[in-house]
A and B are shown apart, each in its own frame.
Chain A
């Protein structure tokens, strides 16, 4: 692949309920990324808009955003892989740039989940699985991931305390992130206190504290060719590896319930393309929509052997000053999870880390970072490796 760089990153503050329309929400992430890149809208050749449908009423949001953000008459189009939509957008933008079709592409992720109720939102997300054969039983995302949590606990002896420890780590850094929805401290004893909301069951074995929150938010990543990047950007961050995979939508089509096949496959592809291995990763963002998802990511990405993910969190190896810092921006568990904006927010965090601009969450001299972004219940998986 021809070299592709990220030259600008941005995201809105993630909030429970955004007091504006989706085009206004998209503007927030776009503005930050454009200021970061030092570009004006006429310097963007094409745009890719990413979200999961049916939260707001707008059909075909790409055309609406292109006008509002001043990107006409450049081509624009919509891409969707549920929660991994914006890292899929990045993959697409990289292919457009590497193929020489465009020099500069904006990847705009967004989601305004607050336009529908929480129960409706659970139903929508449940319909991101198999609506013919599974949804009629009353499925929802926490329950699907809970089935993986039970699988992991049964197979490897992972405990509820291990899962709680992942949320405690997330909150350690979420408290420092002024873009996050949930910024309060979370302690392990909250999970064992029946009076505390964090301990309330959602879908066994997962509790409220194991789950991320719905949110409204937007993100934007500006991707450019090597020539363009060198001309306009002091600190380009290079796309070193891209991996992507899919898995059977119905759990009946799957064989393993202690890890995500899409993540394992996407990671292997990305490592091979980048010519690096798990030990070379200095900082990572993983898709912790639920605590168990981060636990599985440790193993699926090779940061730990299968079944040994719990040792990483027990030894605090995934904290800021640990061997492999993971989700040092608080993760989805703290930031909230505005579906289509999430991947872009993860990429933004890693870009800022690699540039040395991450402020109080900066890890020491990272050169290679990794983003793991999963769509649905391991239905889609993208792993992206970035470097300087």
Chain B
């Protein structure tokens, strides 16, 4: 009898309309999304905060990290509404990508569906929440605070 195949932890493939990465040391990010939380990582040694989350700290070369929730509101830095989508995203058009500044870190993502471009202004406060996509995938979106 051969050995049982070791199961590959590919939770990350659930992230995004189309995922391009299946395995990563920060797979817990997807489990957190399933639990309703958007999370980043912090280096336990030097305290450096990372979003997007990282398994490794390039400042002190440690891989001892802890998770923190993305909470409260951030300022809208910039955004763009796409009238065309790349391959795999056409069904989502139009959609808006954006960047929020939380002070210690920034978050790149999408504006929630239903918010019109006219409602957006650079500098406005927005929050980040988990979003379930129609194809069963998960991401996160920004809403007006």
Residues in chain A within 8 A of chain B (CB atoms): 117, 119-120, 122-123, 126-127, 130-140, 142-144, 146-148, 150-151, 154, 200-206, 250-254, 257
Contact = CB atoms under 8 A, between A and B. Distances in A.
Interface of B: 12, 15-21, 24, 51-52, 77-90, 92, 95, 97-99, 105-110, 117, 122, 139
B86 A119 contact: yes
The 9 A-B pairs of least Cβ separation, nearest first, read A136-B16, A138-B89, A146-B80, A123-B86, A122-B86, A133-B52, A252-B106, A123-B87, A131-B20
A11 to B, nearest CB: 28
Given A150-B78, A150-B122, A204 B52 contact: no
A253 B117 CA distance: 24
Contacts of B80: 143-144, 146-147, 150, 203-206
19 contacts: A119-B84, A120-B86, A123-B87, A130-B108, A132-B12, A134-B108, A135-B18, A136-B16, A136-B17, A136-B139, A137-B16, A137-B109, A138-B18, A143-B80, A201-B81, A202-B82, A205-B80, A252-B51, A252-B107
B108 A251 contact: yes
A119 to B, nearest CB: 4
B86 A126 contact: yes
A143 B97 contact: yes
Contact of A257 (B77, B88, B95, B139): B77
B27 to A, nearest CB: 11
Contacts of A127: 20
Nearest to B98: A147
A271 B51 CA distance: 35
A122 to B, nearest CB: 4
A119 B52 CA distance: 27
Contacts of A133: 52, 108
Nearest to A155: B122
A148 B82 contact: no
Contacts of B110: 137-138
B123 to A, nearest CB: 8
A251 B77 CA distance: 10
B31 to A, nearest CB: 16
Nearest to B20: A131
Nearest to A150: B78
Contact of B78 (A130, A139, A142, A147): A147
B72 to A, nearest CB: 16
B104 to A, nearest CB: 11
B20 A138 contact: no
Contacts of A117: 87
A136 B87 contact: no
Given A137-B139, A138-B92, A257-B78, A132 B83 contact: no
Contacts of B82: 138, 140, 143, 202-203
Contacts of B20: 127, 131-132, 135-136
Contacts of A254: 106
A229 B15 CA distance: 55
Given A140-B85, A204-B80, 7 more contacts: A127-B20, A135-B18, A136-B20, A138-B92, A146-B80, A204-B83, A204-B117
A119 B16 contact: no
Nearest to B105: A252
A266 to B, nearest CB: 22
Given A133-B108, A147-B99, A252-B52, A202 B139 contact: no
Contacts of B92: 138
Given A147-B99, A252-B106, A252-B108, A138 B17 contact: yes
